[in-house]
Structure 1
């Protein structure tokens, strides 16, 4: 009985971890692609960069499906093997990442939970303990469902998680875990609390006496022995201390310089069309932005294109599409964090992110008259779509329960 309970706990624990890890990746496929891009560059595999988005979809779906199969006892032997081999591979990989640190954040839980490489490694070790037990007791695992039910459920769940990824790619993430999510106040996110941990450093001094060099630290430095001659020193970061969620938000104007504080303190609505790479804006989207820009100016609402591209590239956009956009420049990595769309539209007021739109969902120019109302409408639409996906998921679970009940009734008859 005890071993049976341990198998149940192991199956649910490993499965729930895989479901969570897969889902938070599925709701942000662009973020997953960015992380794969970092990995491929770090390991000098640039020839795979074109596969970053397919890899993001595949990893999220694989993790989610393995977890779902384990939790609901569908194809338990196959799911157990898959989780075991998956964890073996990624535990070895994260050990290498922890030792050599080519990428600071593994991205194992997307932006939902940030872990260091060593934290990720030990997390994998803990999960692996349960996965190993499941693997060596897999002969005792059996699904209560028929083969046809298991197949239908597995396919349905695969379609579901792929649908979540496709929706999040073509619109915006269903759940936004980043510090620029709707409702976030940027100045508050940039604030460092007074009691926040400070960075800690270790300084080593290299001194020489009688032709012999020796290393000292602050505790054993020979202050009273003046015969030691200073040669060199090196400083090592021991602890990074507190880093605010938002620490690289800068709005640089070509003529006015840094106008970040000025724009964050605006009482009126502020529109930022965020485009990390401005050359990727196509004519159709450029015209939509031009209409929004013109409408915003009618109501004296500031409207900027925020980009990491050069000013020459920005001016080429105006020349190509006969537009008169005003531009700001920012860090490319940060712009990709602000919104998962190139371009994407951000509405801010008094430093708070009121709404964000993917370029597939830009509001009509007529809605600029009352931008906050348009934002609320957009949020309601997003909530409706999220609830729809949730209902689809619940319908699948209810269907599974009904099918299982029918099987039990038929067996008893």
Structure 2
């Protein structure tokens, strides 16, 4: 029994630490996912969830830091009763979110492990149900409290993990994620990411006389009735399926992948940091004719042009889906440098590079 408790405690604690650290790496991404949940809940459950949308980022930082801290506390067996109660409350909350997503299919990715590991809604829900059972098992099987010396060590380690994870989360918000798990990361070629990585393999499900048959190639026998076509290697699907750039004159996606281009990403100008445009404008002027500079936005044309006049951002602009722009960068505004479709650089508005660094990256 003691061995089982120890194994479960380390498994649950390790999983919470892993999940929390991945999201500490990208609290803005977690906030985007939380906002999605709040907006859906405000429409489908109760209107008051709408008031949580502006608080998504601080709530997300609190939640991801808490995951790390509680995971470490559980492994250390620190404040066992309070730790298990807090873990149980969190996992019940997560189970509600993932269960709702699975049943309604309203959110197709729970964001449980950020962009590092994608789970379907049902996979996420089953994972959370298993964790509920494990944490209940630990809670109902609590044993002797820690010694005084062990508790003092726990104070230091748990307190240190709180300070460190909170600092990392705040740093990631003020800059960019330490590790970029998205398809738009530095080094990736966007046109390549928009293509299948291998030839699709299909399986044809056919019916004949009430019996189902499966074929690698579509049968020529007309006595078979088509039932379904299964995709056997979904991992070969393109990593990017929704990237597009356009304006009122048409689609310009293919032009994005030609030559050296720096994009100023402003997915919502009403929420952008206007003061940072001064430094971005200085960079644009310093680059001169060496690199083409464009803006990508999801704001409407009249709103964006008013914003341009306010901040003096005199560059051509194109439209791109807001979700895509938030996936490309967690910064608003942000900078995204491409050379023949390959991502050479990404910068937060707090880290605007000098022109020589930009030029060096595309030479």
TM-score band (shorter)?
0.7 to 0.9
1:352-409 deviations in Å (ceiling 9; x for gaps): 1111100000012454443458xxxxxxxxxxxxxxxxxxxxxxxxxxxxxxxxxxxx
1:61-112 deviations in Å (ceiling 9; x for gaps): 1111111112233333432332234323433442232112222211111111
User: 1:73·1:143 contact (CA, 8 Å) conserved in 2?
Assistant: no
Equivalent in 175, 178, 193 of residue 179 of structure 2: 175
Runs of 4 or more above 6 Å deviation: 217-221, 235-240
Q: Mapping of 1:246-265 within 5 angstroms?
A: 246-255=240-249, 257-265=250-258
Q: Mapping of 1:146-165 within 5 angstroms?
A: 146-165=150-169
User: 1:77·1:141 contact (CA, 8 Å) conserved in 2?
Assistant: no
User: 1:292·1:368 contact (CA, 8 Å) conserved in 2?
Assistant: no
Match of 1:297 in 2: 288
Matched, 1:52 2:56: yes
- Name which one, 1 or 2, has greater alpha-carbon Rg: 1
1:122-160 deviations in Å (ceiling 9; x for gaps): 112333333232222212464674433322322211111
In structure 2, do the counterparts of structure 1 residues 143 and 171 end up closer, same or farther at CA, with 3 Å as the change threshold?
farther
State the alpha-carbon separation in 1 of the partners of residues 288 and 207 from structure 2.
60
- Of residues 242-251 and 348-357 in structure 1, the stretch that sits farther from structure 2 once superposed is 242-251
Match of 2:21 in 1: 23
State the alpha-carbon separation in 2 of the partners of residues 237 and 57 from structure 1.
43
Counterpart secondary structure, 1:370? helix
Unaligned runs of 5+ in 2: 43-48, 211-226
TM-score (norm 2): 0.84
Let me know the Cα RMSD of the aligned residues: 2.8
In structure 2, do the counterparts of structure 1 residues 201 and 75 end up closer, same or farther at CA, with 3 Å as the change threshold?
farther
State the alpha-carbon separation in 2 of the partners of residues 296 and 288 from structure 1.
12
Q: Mapping of 1:14-413 within 5 angstroms?
A: 14-44=12-42, 45-140=49-144, 142=146, 145-196=149-200, 243-255=237-249, 257-266=250-259, 269-299=260-290, 301-372=291-362
Q: How many residue pairs align between the two structures?
A: 339
Equivalent in 4, 18, 27 of residue 6 of structure 1: 4
Unaligned runs of 5+ in 1: 203-216, 222-234, 374-413
TM-score (norm 1): 0.74
User: 1:180·1:353 contact (CA, 8 Å) conserved in 2?
Assistant: yes
